[in-house]
């Protein structure tokens, strides 16, 4: 993992832990040495990406922008891998890209960014619903799509924070049957791959 990646992972960790940072815990969680994380912490402080308030760290505006860009890039990779299945290059102007390439208007962009900013976990812990196996469960984190799709899914009870279980997956990109809020639903493959979830550990 290169140093810039470690730095961003540190920002993700700080955000997902409400500003609390224990380097030993972070080292295990991120599979990175304590020494590398300590260097990243000093770098983040020196670059003005974070500041310390009492015993907690808080991202500055610059830090939030860097994290926002990282999360948009991650979503972009997942969208292309699972939605459009094409190779992508790094995007430098996200506003222009989302509008021109994906048809998002300003309200769509604000909704997307609000959802990404509010993710209570590291962005790398989220995955499209279609990647879950039968019997696996996940908690909905965000939906990639325009207002129409988001409203339609909300009417079905599929909103951020709701737990969803995969019951059956049809072959050849067919429908995905899920259980949510005590109801079984059949989702088209194209819809299911736009719902991003965080896996819920299986009970043994």
Residue 28 lies in a domain: yes
pLDDT at 134: 94
196 compared with 87, residue with greater pLDDT: 196
User: Do 1 and 9 touch, CB atoms closer than 8 A?
Assistant: yes
* Statement: residue 87 has pLDDT above 60: no
Arithmetic mean of pLDDT over the chain = 86
- The whole domain housing 165 covers 126-200
Buried b (16+ CB within 10 A) or exposed e, 75-84: bbebbeebbe
Residue 115 lies in a domain: no
pLDDT for 172 equals 82
Instruction: Report yes or no on 101 lying in a domain.
Output: no
Domain end call among 32, 59, 86: 59
Q: What percent of the chain has pLDDT over 70?
A: 92
Residue 40: the pLDDT is 95
Q: According to the model, what pLDDT value does residue 86 have?
A: 45
Which of 44, 59, 74 is at the close of a domain?
59
pLDDT at 197: 93
Looking at residue 88, what is its pLDDT?
A: 47
Which pLDDT score is estimated for 105? 82
Assigned domain for 144 exists: yes
Question: C-alpha distances in angstroms, 29 versus 33, 117, 122?
Answer: 10, 21, 11
Q: Where is the domain boundary, 43, 59, 75?
A: 59
* Domain CATH number, residue 184: 2.30.30.90
pTM of this prediction?
0.75
* Largest separation between any pair of C-alpha atoms in the chain: 54
At residue 85, the pLDDT reads 45
Position 149 confidence tier, pLDDT thresholds 50, 70, 90? confident
* Mean pLDDT score, 24-28: 92
- Asked if the structure places residue 98 within a domain, the reply is no
What CATH number should be reported for the domain holding residue 34?
1.10.10
Q: Give the ranges where the chain is alpha helix by DSSP (H).
A: 3-16, 23-30, 34-46, 61-79, 94-102, 106-117, 147-155, 189-192
Compare 127 and 75 and report the one with higher pLDDT. Answer: 127
- State how many domains the chain has: 2
């Amino acid at each position: 993992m290169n140093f810039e990646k470690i730095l961003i992972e540190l920002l993700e960790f700080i955000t997902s832990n409400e500003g609390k940072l224990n380097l030993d815990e972070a080292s295990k969680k991120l599979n990175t040495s304590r020494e590398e994380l300590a260097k990243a912490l000093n770098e983040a402080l020196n670059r003005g990406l974070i500041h310390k308030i009492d015993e907690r760290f808080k991202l500055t505006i610059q830090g939030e922008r860097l994290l926002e860009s990282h999360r948009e890039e991650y979503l972009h990779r997942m969208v292309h891998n699972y939605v459009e299945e094409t190779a992508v290059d790094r995007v430098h102007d996200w506003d222009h890209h989302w509008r021109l390439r994906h048809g998002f208007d300003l309200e769509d962009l604000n909704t997307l960014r609000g959802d990404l900013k509010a993710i209570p976990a590291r962005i790398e812990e989220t995955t499209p619903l279609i990647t879950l196996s039968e019997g696996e469960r996940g908690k909905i984190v965000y939906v990639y799509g325009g207002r129409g799709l988001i409203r339609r899914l909300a009417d079905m009870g599929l909103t951020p924070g709701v737990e969803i279980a995969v019951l059956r997956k049809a072959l050849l990109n067919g429908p995905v049957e899920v259980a949510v809020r005590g109801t079984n639903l059949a989702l088209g493959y194209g819809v299911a791959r736009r719902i991003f979830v965080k896996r819920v550990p299986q009970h043994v």
